[in-house]
Structure 1
Amino acid sequence: MKKSRIPEGKSFVIKELIAPFFDVNWHFHSEYQLFIVLKGTGTRFIGDHMQSFKEGDMVLTGPDLPHLWKNDKVYQNPENKLGVHGIVIYFPDNFLNNSVFQLVEFESIAKMLKKSIRGIEIMGRTNLQVKEMMVDLLKLKGGVSLIHLLKILQTIADSTDCKLIADATYINTNKESEKDRMGHVYEYVMQNFQGKVSLEEAAQISNLSVSAFSRFFKSRVNKSFSDFLTEVRISHACKLLHETDLNISEISYDCGFFTLSNFNKLFKERVKLTPVQYRKEFLLTFGAN
């Protein structure tokens, strides 16, 4: 039987995370999880979706939705003295003994929790509001803490600052025993995407033939391995376009694309803008900080 993250007799658990980097294991569990990044950057994987994350990233994941907040490589070197900070709340899938799903008063929370099987990203003013509430909840005990958690959930349920993350067709077909296999594949890609990544090596890491691995990966991530790899590279390119003054060919090379024309083509296909247009739009929207 799987061990719960919530001690017996408690309705939920809240933890403050202060560490060199976030949990490196791609995983899923039976509890709901509300997580905010207070410090740290990297790439997050939720279901079949991936994107970069930074301070302020807030996500509610439903039961058994796979997730991973993978910090950038620089966090692995202690000499960089970077470190991460976050707050996580776990509450069970039978929260309040299912009354959430039965009582009229809890209807909006119940609907929101049902949607969280795809993962919910919380943005805008709601993000700031909930962040403060999560910080306050760290200090509360007893019945007051449970009332405060319900207020947090009600705030998210009432908000229009939320978007669903995983695709509507996404279903977690991973078995508990396959967590390591998928975790090793993600690790391999994230460590090597700036250079050569091969389908053969990914299959080897998974102890599968190339054709079996291709089927396995696609059935679990909703996309082919090469599409996934391109997404990781394009996501990194977007980050470099925001955060650095590198020119386009330097960015292309740094993201593991060996020809500039291929980079430009794939970037435009996925982002619907050229890298130059994307950088311009970003600067116009957010200003050159």
Structure 2
Amino acid sequence: MKKPLQKSKIPDNKVFVIRELREAYLDKYWHSHEEYQLNVILKGRGTRYIGDHMKPFKEGDLVLTGPNLPHVWRCDNAYFDAESTMETHDIVIYFPESFLGKDALQKEEFAEIGKLLHMAGRGLEITGQTNKVVIKMMKDLVNQTGVTSIIGLLEILNVLAHSSELEPITQMDYKSNYTAHEKDKISEILEYVLKNFNQKITLQEVASLANMSESAFSRYFKTRVNKSFSDFLGDVRISNARKLLQDEDLNISQVCFESGFPTLSNFNKQFKDRIGKTPLAYKKDIREAFNN
């Protein structure tokens, strides 16, 4: 993979950057950058992987990430088909810690925003009414310029700083300590798994991809991703299953095999271990929530 995965998102003549993007699919590569990032998905579905956490994403997914926290919003495989007409739409804001000036966050007036940005080091999912309010503010901010745009960003951060509807994403002990080369290697591994999870994937395959022995790869992967490769692969498959279970036309067996599980019993066990309920109970809860 030749693509550089760590670079500044903000030109020298800008305080921050906001972009509204409409593309066939989102950037599929695991990456990080020095800026804070506030991102909302307005159209598109797939798997969101931030730090050591994985979750399906869809319209309305709103997340604030801190500097150097690796992440990727990878669209479902269908988006990458050559004949696909599917599209994505998102708004993303990048801003540095110093966007208010040197040491500004140490001042009393910005204490709450400073706390918010500290929490963003783990990634924050924004839910509830705050989600709706901030998405509208981001849509408005796209069309603002000059000092008005800076005020708009501060208003968004102020809303977030005083909200109780923020959920930390990564584990408290998660640490990102990859070199640029390691991010490139991990990105290639993640992309391979996210593309092929519904097929049989062996440890030998991915170790070969990383040019390592199986034992060396297992140690390497766990220290970088905070979980074993088998746990990561299971998480990818469960994430896909959670999306498929929302489709009333698919039965549990179809979801099981389309998500890459070898047997229905294995699927049921792994799903209950991770989600706390059986796939059937999960599907029932989704149906009841939708009908209400």
Contact 2:7 2:33 in 1 (8 A): no
Alignment of 1:128-143 (within 5 A): 128-143=132-147
* d(CA) in 1 for partners of 2:194, 2:7: 29
Question: What is aligned with 2:245?
Answer: 241
Question: What is aligned with 2:9?
Answer: 5
1:175 maps to 2:175: no
TM-score using structure 2 length: 0.95
Contact 1:100 1:109 in 2 (8 A): no
Give 1:214 shift. Answer: 0.9
- Please list the CA deviations of residues 68-90 of structure 1 after superposition, one character each: whole Å capped at 9, or x if unmatched: 00000111124231110001110
In structure 2, the gaps of 5 or more residues are 1-5
Contact 1:268 1:275 in 2 (8 A): yes
Question: What is aligned with 1:76?
Answer: 80
1:166 maps to 2:154: no
Give 1:286 shift. Answer: 2.5
Moved more, 256-265 or 240-249: 240-249
1:43 maps to 2:47: yes
* d(CA) in 2 for partners of 1:98, 1:228: 40
1:101 maps to 2:105: yes
Contact 2:15 2:95 in 1 (8 A): yes
Give 1:280 shift. Answer: 1.0
**Matched length:** 287
1:222 aligned residue (223, 226, 229)? 226
TM-score using structure 1 length: 0.96
1:117 aligned residue (121, 125, 129)? 121
Question: What is aligned with 1:278?
Answer: 282
Contact 2:69 2:176 in 1 (8 A): yes
Give 1:110 shift. Answer: 0.2
Give 1:209 shift. Answer: 1.6
Give, as a single letter, the amino acid of the residue that structure 2 aligns with 1:79: E
Alignment of 1:141-152 (within 5 A): 141-152=145-156
Task: Report the RMSD for the aligned CA atoms in angstroms.
Answer: 1.3
1:184 maps to 2:191: no
* d(CA) in 2 for partners of 1:78, 1:19: 14
- Please list the CA deviations of residues 209-260 of structure 1 after superposition, one character each: whole Å capped at 9, or x if unmatched: 2111111111111110000101111111111111242121121111111111
Moved more, 75-84 or 92-101: 92-101
Determine what percentage of the aligned residue pairs are the same residue. 51
Question: What is aligned with 1:259?
Answer: 263
Aligned structure 1 segments of 4 or more residues deviating by more than 3 angstroms? none
Contact 2:45 2:58 in 1 (8 A): yes
Q: Residue 245 and residue 107 in structure 1: after superposition, are their counterparts in 2 closer, same or farther (change >3 A)?
A: same
* d(CA) in 2 for partners of 1:149, 1:282: 35
1:30 maps to 2:34: yes
Moved more, 239-248 or 79-88: 239-248
* d(CA) in 2 for partners of 1:80, 1:6: 32
Give 1:99 shift. Answer: 3.5
Contact 2:45 2:75 in 1 (8 A): yes
1:199 maps to 2:237: no
Question: What is aligned with 2:3?
Answer: none
Give 1:100 shift. Answer: 3.6
Give, as a single letter, the amino acid of the residue that structure 1 aligns with 2:283: R
